[in-house]
Structure 1
C-alpha cells in the first residue's frame, strides 16, 4: 500500500472523507492532487459558497497530514478542460487509484479499466454542535461574539437558556459550520438544501441547520432546530367529528399558527395518518425537514421549479400533498392549481389568528373559488388544535345589511365544532369585506363600509377584526391618507374603533 498513488476527485474533497480515511490508516503513500480541483474550489469560495471554503479547508488538512508523515502530497496540472476527464487521465498516467465518493464516477472509471477506491457513506462521530443539545432542547442559537443560547421545553411552553458563560468566536463557529457541511456531504440521511453567498441551509438527519456569514450577516451565526417530539394524530386527542371530516370530506386544508406553534409537527402527523390509511402522500418542503416514513416522497422547492413540481404531482396523482411553509404568491397558486386538479391539499401557513389564514388567499384567488380550494382551516396554538373553521359559499344578505336587493355571494366562515357563524367575506364595490359577525352585531357592517368608503374611496380591501378596521390601499396613494388623517381620527371616535391603513405595492 505504501507505493500506491491515490488520485482524489472533487466529491472526496468536498465530503472531507479523504483525510478521515488517511487518519484511520486505510490510505497511505502518495496523494496526487490535480490543480483543476483547486481552481474549481477557488471559484466557489470567491462566490461565497460554503462548499468551496470547506473544500479548501480539506486540502489544507492534507498538507497537515503530509507534515505528520502520513502521506506525500503531489500537485499535477494539464490543459484538460473537464475536471473528471483530467482526473481519469492523471490516474492512467500514474497507474494510480481513483478515490471517489461519487457512485457514477466510480462506475465510469471501472468501465474504463481504472482502479477505484470507492468511499461510500461515512458515519462521523458526534458533531460539536450536538454537544449543545440535551433531551429538552428545541433549538440552539450560536452567534459570533455572543453567548450560546438554547430554547428548551416544548412548543408554546419554552424558555431561552444560556448554555455557557464564554462568548463564541468566529473561528469556533467556522469550525462547527465546516464540520456540519462535511457531515452533510458524507451521510445518506443528510443534504445541503441551499448554498449561496452568505447562506447555507443543511438538513442533517433530524436537524435543520441555517448557517449565515458575512457579507449577508454581520458575523457567523448558526441556528439548529430539532423536533423535540414526534407525534401521531391520536396524540392530539381530536374530537371524533373532526377525525371523520379529515377522513371523508376535508380535501383543502390550511394548517395555521404562529412560528414555533407546532404547525409542521401536526402536518407531519396528518401525513403519516393518511399514509397509514393507504393513501398516496407526497410533500413539498423548503427545506425538507419533516421526518416521515419511506412510503412518503418528499420534494424540495429548492432543487426544481414550481412548474415542474406541478407537472410531477399531476402525473403521479397523489391522494394528498402536504405543502409546508407556503409564503409567496407562487406557492398559493401551486396549491390552488393542484387542488382544482382534484388533488387533496394540506397547506401550512403562518398566521396569528385563524381568520388570517383565510385572509392570505384574498387577492390571490377569486372570492367565489375560496371554499372550493380551502374547506377546512386548523389553527394550532402551543402544539394543540385551538380552533377549526369550515368554509362554505352561499348567496344571502350579509349580516348587518337591511335592503334585500343587497344580497350577494358570501363566504361563510363557521366554527366547525359548534356550527356557529363567526365571519362573512364578500365584495362591496371594489372592496373585499372580512366581517366578524359576532363582534359587529347591530352596529351594522353597512354603516362601517359606507363611512370608510367616503373617506378612502381608493381602498381595495376592508377587514374588521378585534375592534380594528384594517383598510388596504395602493402604496402610491399614501399621500392622500396623510391629507385625510384628521377625518380618519374623527371617524375612529365616531365608530369607537381603531382604523389601521396597510399599503400594497400595486
Structure 2
C-alpha cells in the first residue's frame, strides 16, 4: 500500500485529486490536522484559497466514500500562533515531521518544502500538474483586448481597441456558469501562488486581487458582490518613450529638471503605459528606478524593482525608499490622502517622483494636492503635469511659485503668494492658485474675458452680504479691481452700512476692496449714455485726458474698454490731469500701453 502525506499547497489548488486519480494500486492518504487547521483559518477569514481548500477536502472525502482511497486525519492540531506563522514555515515543519514519523511519502507543490524534505531524507513527490479547465483566463484575450469582464449568467465581454478608442464586445455566445467561473478563479489563485511572476495582492472576504504575469485580476464574490465576477486588465501594447514623439523641449525637461512629475488622465486613457515607458527611459539612462504599486502591474524590466505596500501600508514602503534613495520612484495609482502625503514626503526628501493619478482635466491633478499639503509647498512637490488622453500626451503643465498681484487686480497691497500654472509648450498662463479670504481659489486665466479675480471678488461679496442680510435684495457690480458698488432698495441701505459704518467697514476688510452702497434708482440714472471721446496724452509725471469743451466742468465717468476706472470733473479747458504714481494713474498707463481705448460718459 502506498502511504502519502499531503501538505496545504497541493490541497488548495486541486492538484492532489488529479494526482490520486492517476495513481494505480491501493492508496492511503493522510491529511495532517495542521493542514486542516490552516485551511479552516483561511476560510474563516474569507480568503479564497481557504474556500478552495475546503472544496478539495470534500472531494477527497467523496473519493474515500467511493473506496478509491483510504483517507485519514492525523497529527496534532497547531496553536493559533503557529497557524498565523504558517508563511514562516511552522505548518510545513509539522507536516514534514508527521511524514517522517510514519515513513510516508510527502506530496507537495511548494519548492522550498520539497528541498527541505530532500535534505532531511524524507521521500517527496513534487506536483507540477494542473487540472484541466474548460476555460482559462488567457483564452478570452487576443492581441487587441484591453480587459475582460466575466460574470455568471452572462456572456463574456471584452474591451477591444486601444486607450481612448475601444469598444465593448461579446467574446463568445456561450453564457458562463457559476461553476466555470469558480474553477477559473481557483486556477488563477493557484497559479499566482506557484508562479514567481504571480502575486496575491489582496485577499479579503468577498474579493481577491491577483497579479498574474501581465494580467491584473479582480475576483469578486458574495457578500462583496451579488454574484461571482472576474475582471482582468492587461496592457495592449508596451511602448517606449520614443513612441510618444515628445518634443525636444519636453525631453530635455524630463531629463534635466523635472523631478516632481504627475501623469494624469481618465481611467483607460494610457497613464500606466506611459509611466512604464518613462520608468524604462530613466533606467536606460543609468538612473536607479523603483516603483510603488498595489497591485504590482507595471510591465517593466528586471533592472527596476517593484515594491508593494509593506504590511499593507504604503507609508512603510515610503520609509524603505527613503533608505534606498532611488533617483526616481514611480508611484502608481495615487488615490488616498495618505498616498499624496507619502509622495510629498519622498519628493521633499530629494527623491524624484512620478505619480499616476486619475483626472479628467490636467489642472485636476494639481487640485488633488490642495488641502492635503500646504499650498506654498505644492510647486516644490509638483513641477510638471503630463496629461494623457487616448494614449497620447495631450498637454503638459508647469508650476511656479511667485509673489504677485493676481491677474485682474491692480493694487500693490493685494499682492500675495500665487502659483502660476502654465502650458509648458506655449508658456501661456492658464491658471492661478492663491488664497482669497479664507478659501483657496483655482482661477482660470483667459484672454479676452473679464478678469477672473474680479469674478471671484463679485461672487465672494455676494456670499458675504447674504450671510448677515439673507432677505435683502442686492446686486453687486465690480467696477474696478479695487472698487465695488452694492445696489439695494433705499430703505435697506442703512442696514447694509451698519451703525457708524461698522458693517460695511468689516465687509471691506474681509473682501479686500472698497465698497460703495447705492440705491437701484441711482444705478438707473448712472447708466452710461453716449460715449464721449477722450484724448489721452502721457507726459513725464502725469497723464492728461482731454474731453470736448462742452463737457468742461461736468462730472464724467472714465472707462478703459468696458471697465470703469474713475470719476472726475474736467477743468474749464476740458482737461483731467492724473499723477502717474497714483493707483488711477498706473491703471491709465496700463490701458495706454495695452492700446485699450479710454472714453467717458455722463
TM-score (norm 2): 0.71
Give how far 1:94 is off: 1.2
Structure 2: which 5+ runs fail to align? 83-90, 478-602
In the other structure, the counterpart of 2:450 is 443
Native 8 Å contact 1:193 1:302 kept in 2: no
Provide the rounded CA distance (Å) in 1 between the counterparts of 2:305 and 2:239: 19
Structure 1: which 5+ runs fail to align? 459-479, 493-506
Give how far 1:305 is off: 2.3
- Provide closer, same or farther for how the CA distance between residues 413 and 8 of structure 1 changes in structure 2, counting only shifts above 3 A: same
Give how far 1:293 is off: 1.0
Matched ranges for 1:10-25 at <5 A: 10-22=8-20
Native 8 Å contact 1:92 1:114 kept in 2: yes
Provide the rounded CA distance (Å) in 1 between the counterparts of 2:180 and 2:67: 27
In the other structure, the counterpart of 1:288 is 296
Deviates more, 1:187-196 or 1:378-387: 187-196
* Two-structure CA RMSD over aligned residues (Å): 3.0
Give how far 1:163 is off: 2.3
Matched ranges for 1:24-423 at <5 A: 29-63=27-61, 71-81=69-79, 82=82, 83-106=91-114, 108-110=116-118, 112-119=120-127, 128-301=136-309, 303-423=311-431
Q: CA offsets, 1:331-386, max 9 Å, x none?
A: 00110000001010000000000000011111111111111111000000000000
Q: Secondary structure at the match of 2:456?
A: helix
Provide the rounded CA distance (Å) in 2 between the counterparts of 1:313 and 1:196: 27
Native 8 Å contact 1:396 1:407 kept in 2: yes
- Provide closer, same or farther for how the CA distance between residues 71 and 338 of structure 1 changes in structure 2, counting only shifts above 3 A: same
Higher relative CO (Cα under 8 Å, sequence separation at least 6) belongs to 1
In the other structure, the counterpart of 2:5 is 7
Provide the rounded CA distance (Å) in 2 between the counterparts of 1:305 and 1:125: 36
Give how far 1:14 is off: 2.6
Give how far 1:49 is off: 1.4
Provide the rounded CA distance (Å) in 2 between the counterparts of 1:377 and 1:277: 22
The partner residue of 1:452 within 435, 442, 459 is: 459
Q: CA offsets, 1:384-435, max 9 Å, x none?
A: 0000011111111110112121111111111111111111111112111111
Provide the rounded CA distance (Å) in 2 between the counterparts of 1:198 and 1:297: 30
- Provide closer, same or farther for how the CA distance between residues 284 and 89 of structure 1 changes in structure 2, counting only shifts above 3 A: same
Deviates more, 1:78-87 or 1:296-305: 78-87
Deviates more, 1:252-261 or 1:409-418: 409-418
Q: Secondary structure at the match of 2:395?
A: strand
Q: CA offsets, 1:77-128, max 9 Å, x none?
A: 4355454454233212311122233344445545554333345797988952
Give how far 1:314 is off: 1.0
Give how far 1:290 is off: 0.9
Deviates more, 1:128-137 or 1:410-419: 128-137
Provide the rounded CA distance (Å) in 1 between the counterparts of 2:472 and 2:174: 54
Give how far 1:29 is off: 3.6
Provide the rounded CA distance (Å) in 1 between the counterparts of 2:471 and 2:278: 48
Deviates more, 1:345-354 or 1:72-81: 72-81
- Provide closer, same or farther for how the CA distance between residues 293 and 67 of structure 1 changes in structure 2, counting only shifts above 3 A: farther
Provide the rounded CA distance (Å) in 2 between the counterparts of 1:23 and 1:135: 37
- Provide closer, same or farther for how the CA distance between residues 367 and 57 of structure 1 changes in structure 2, counting only shifts above 3 A: same
Give how far 1:51 is off: 1.0
Provide the rounded CA distance (Å) in 2 between the counterparts of 1:124 and 1:166: 19
Give how far 1:188 is off: 1.7
Of structures 1 and 2, the larger Rg is shown by 2
- Provide closer, same or farther for how the CA distance between residues 344 and 127 of structure 1 changes in structure 2, counting only shifts above 3 A: farther
Provide the rounded CA distance (Å) in 1 between the counterparts of 2:276 and 2:167: 24
Native 8 Å contact 1:157 1:382 kept in 2: yes
Deviates more, 1:105-114 or 1:293-302: 105-114
Deviates more, 1:403-412 or 1:63-72: 63-72
Provide the rounded CA distance (Å) in 2 between the counterparts of 1:310 and 1:44: 29
Give how far 1:187 is off: 1.6
Q: Secondary structure at the match of 1:139?
A: strand
- Provide closer, same or farther for how the CA distance between residues 98 and 235 of structure 1 changes in structure 2, counting only shifts above 3 A: same
Deviates more, 1:212-221 or 1:79-88: 79-88
Provide the rounded CA distance (Å) in 2 between the counterparts of 1:422 and 1:339: 25
In the other structure, the counterpart of 2:502 is none
Provide the rounded CA distance (Å) in 2 between the counterparts of 1:87 and 1:484: 77
Native 8 Å contact 2:18 2:131 kept in 1: no
Provide the rounded CA distance (Å) in 1 between the counterparts of 2:443 and 2:261: 22
Native 8 Å contact 2:310 2:317 kept in 1: no
Q: Secondary structure at the match of 2:208?
A: strand
Native 8 Å contact 1:123 1:187 kept in 2: no
Q: CA offsets, 1:180-224, max 9 Å, x none?
A: 112212222112111100000011111111011110111111101
Q: CA offsets, 1:54-90, max 9 Å, x none?
A: 1122334445666788754333243554544542332
